[in-house]
Amino acid sequence: MINIGIIGLGYWGPNYLRIFSQLDGCRVGAASDKDGKRLEAFSKTYPSVRLFSDFRKMMEDEILDGVVIATPTTTHFAVAKEVLAKGCHVLLEKPLAMTERECKSLCDIAAKNKKILMVGHTFLYNSCVNWIQNFVNAGHAGKVYYLHAQRTNLGPIRHDVGAMMDLAPHDISMFLHILGKEPVKVSAEGSAFLTNSREDVAFLHLEFKDGTMAHVHVSWLEPRKVRQLTVIGDKKMIVFDDVNMSEPVRIFDKGVTRTKEYRTFGEFQMILRDGDIVIPKIRLSEPLKDQCSAFLSAVQSGKTPVSDGRFGLKVVRVLEAARKSLQTGGKAVRLA
Ligand SMILES: NC(=O)c1ccc[n+]([C@@H]2O[C@H](COP(=O)([O-])OP(=O)(O)OC[C@H]3O[C@@H](n4cnc5c(N)ncnc54)[C@H](O)[C@@H]3O)[C@@H](O)[C@H]2O)c1
């Protein structure tokens, strides 16, 4: 029985409390939030969970195997560092930390203590995203020209990080996961309309060595909730609409075919292919639940999870480059 502790019971943390309380092979022994009012809300519904306002006290009083950290992004590094040093496996919310350097430090502490460090990149446990990844890797989409994503809504507005750091980790994680490679160039433009300090909207552009491009638009200042990813391949085009529960993935047999043989330039043609649209049947499950199960499996087996610390570091490397670019008005930043 794996004993789980949870740090942070704000908006997202209670989902972990619910899921780990339901999964086999584990129990939630304790949870902590520095806001006492948040704790009151859970004392009646989860009477067997010991509640603490100080996570250090929680770790002293309860022997925990794994700790979930769902505190604000700016606190990830400091909290995770302490928890890993105490010898616990860690499941930390995205993004892993604020800088690549902090991420590397967390990966090193986890490796030194032989502990699992997993990042809550939920989309890597989303059956639609994994279906698309398999489809692309099997070559069914052909050569991927570009991907673009949109993650926009009105709010929620955060006070510790901007919209880019908050929302783009999801899309960057999908890009890296589906393509299986890292970009060599990143640029970003955006604006802080509401606060003057943290961007409310950002447009990120990623370029890969082989010419593939990826683009994401994030904003918490939009009228509609859009969660969309489009993959443009030379054989097939794929659209993943995460708010369409009945038909989340569509495969378009659309593209452009160049005529192979031509004697004069005048005979050279581009034939537009406008074929079927297929909606694949994908078994849908709760991605966060699958992510939590993956954490338990990693703790039990010692095997590295898909969204381990190194993967989380790759996402933050892109975010850090995007932040630098944003500060210089969109100047491209090259990655080694
Ligand atoms: N994967 C997803 O889809 C998803 C969705 C939402 C949020 N998140 C992530 O979850 C994390 C938390 O987001 P949220 O929306 O729940 O934020 P939130 O501000 O609503 O909640 C954070 C909670 O952490 C508590 N806290 C802060 N420092 C603490 C400490 N040292 N010890 C104990 N408690 C502490 C706060 O009191 C607060 O209740 C963020 O990293 C965010 O990026 C992920």
Each residue of 167-212: pLDDT tens digit?
A: 999 999 999 999 999 999 999 999 999 988 899 999 999 999 999 9
Residue of 6, 7, 11 best suited for mutating to test ligand 1, as the one with most atoms within 8 Å of CB: 11
For CATH 3.40.50.720, the residue range(s) in the chain are 2-123+288-307
Tell me the C-alpha distance between 333 and 322, whole Å.
7
Whether CATH 3.40.50.300 fits 2-123+288-307: no
CB 194 within 8 A of CB 200: yes
pTM recorded for the entire structure: 0.96
How far, in Å, is the centroid of ligand 1 from the Cα of 233? Answer: 37
Residue 263, pLDDT above cutoff 70: no
Cβ pair 214, 180 in contact under 8 A: no
Give residue 76 CA to ligand 1 midpoint distance, Å.
9
d(CA 272, CA 97): 45
Q: Please identify, by atom number, the ligand 1 atom nearest to the C-alpha of residue 120.
A: 1
Which fold is adopted by the domain 125-285+317-334?
Dihydrodipicolinate Reductase; domain 2 (3.30.360)
Helix/strand/coil for 205: strand
Task: Name residues whose C-beta falls within 8 Å of residue 100's C-beta, 6 or more positions apart in sequence.
Answer: 313, 316, 317, 320
Structure confidence by residue, pLDDT tens digits, 66-113: 999 999 999 999 999 999 999 999 999 999 999 999 999 999 999 999
Residues in Cβ contact with 310 at an 8 Å cutoff, skipping those fewer than 6 apart: 107
Q: Where in the chain is the domain with CATH 3.30.360.10?
A: 125-285+317-334
**Residues flanking ligand 1, CB < 6 Å:** 7-13, 32-35, 38, 55, 70-73, 75, 79, 93-94, 120, 122, 166
Q: What average pLDDT does the segment 222-228 reach?
A: 97
Protein residue whose Cα sits closest to atom 2 of ligand 1: 122
